[in-house]
Amino acid sequence: MKIFVTGTRGIPDIPGGVEKHCQELFPRIAAKGHDVILCTRNTYVTQKLDEWRGIKLIGCYAPRIKSFEAIVHTFISLLEALSHSPDVVHIHAAPCLLTPLARLLGFRVVVTIHGPEYNRKKWGPVAKCVLRLDEKLAGLYANEVIVISSVIRDIIVKRCNRVANLIPNGVTLPRQSKTSDLLTGIGVDPGSYILAVARFVPEKGLHDLINAFETMDSDCKLVIAGDADHETDYSKNLRQMAGEDDRIILTGYITGEPLNQVYSHARLFVLPSYHEGLPISLLEAMSYGLPVLASDIPANKEVGLPAERYLGTELRD
């Protein structure tokens, strides 16, 4: 089969849960003999590659504007797909709003819904309405719908009256790092820090984590690996909060061996999110054998941790 993929920012090593999902999934599909073409967003691509692990990469324009980036890029990529005559167009995440257009263009369409995007705190009322419509149109018009958790599956059944294919996120079991040069560079010792890996957006709850950490009387440090896709008042405020405590270290976006190191040597992993689909960062932390603490939202609870590893979100209000 020839599969054309859109909706993701791109691969390889571009930050984001959807991006990590695609980076793990599509090389495996290509290795089975399928022709995979993945459309990337030029504003995120740092490595100008035409091919990666058997996947053909095509860059398309995307405005670096939060509310329009995904939809504009997906529209352009669907027009690009016409010249490739794919057997399937696979749309990921919020641009599913264009599913009816993809069908009108003659494509067979598979969509993967990674979570109820309208629950994210970063969106205003108008954007939330559009995202609800996005989910509805995907459910009504896609040839097949994939969801990553039973929580999302139940939403699709209720809202769209159709069966969705449940394929949970997974992670590759890691080879833990034996080196610690990154840790030396940021001033932490192995086993002496709490780790969080997340984007700087309100629904990740990093402000709660910082507030809680500041009450600790401990030499333990807090390492937050992540950054903001789009600079906002929230991300600026988060950096200001972190800067007021010299025990808090922001690494920015890291991937590959640097990320391997911070996972390998952490004392505790914390995910204080208010919203997730099925969190890859939590699965990654568990794959390293780390003790974890997560908020008790449905997506996190689906991972199946012991009850004492969940913190009630109501305790943070």
pLDDT, one tens digit per residue, over 51-78 is: 999 999 999 999 988 778 989 999 999 9
Q: Does domain 2-166 have CATH number 3.40.50.1860?
A: no
pLDDT above 90 for 9: yes
pLDDT above 80 for 267: yes
- Could you say which of 3.40.50.2000, 3.50.50.60, 3.40.50.620, 2.40.70.10 is the CATH number of the domain covering 181-316? 3.40.50.2000
Q: What distance in Å separates the CA atoms of residue 35 and residue 226, rounded to the nearest whole number?
A: 33
Q: Given this model, what pLDDT does residue 46 score?
A: 80
pLDDT tens across 192-208, in order? Answer: 999 999 999 999 999 99
Global confidence as pTM = 0.89
CATH 3.40.50.2000 in the chain, residues? 2-166, 181-316
pLDDT above 80 for 313: no
Q: What own/partner pairs with CB < 8 Å and gap ≥ 24 does 131-139 have? A: 131/94, 133/97, 134/94, 134/95, 134/96, 134/97, 135/96, 135/159, 135/160, 136/160, 137/96, 137/97, 137/99, 137/100, 138/91, 138/96, 138/97, 138/99, 138/111, 138/113, 139/164
pLDDT above 80 for 276: yes
Q: Given this model, what pLDDT does residue 224 score?
A: 98
pLDDT above 70 for 315: no
- Residue 72 near residue 95 (C-beta atoms within 8 A): no
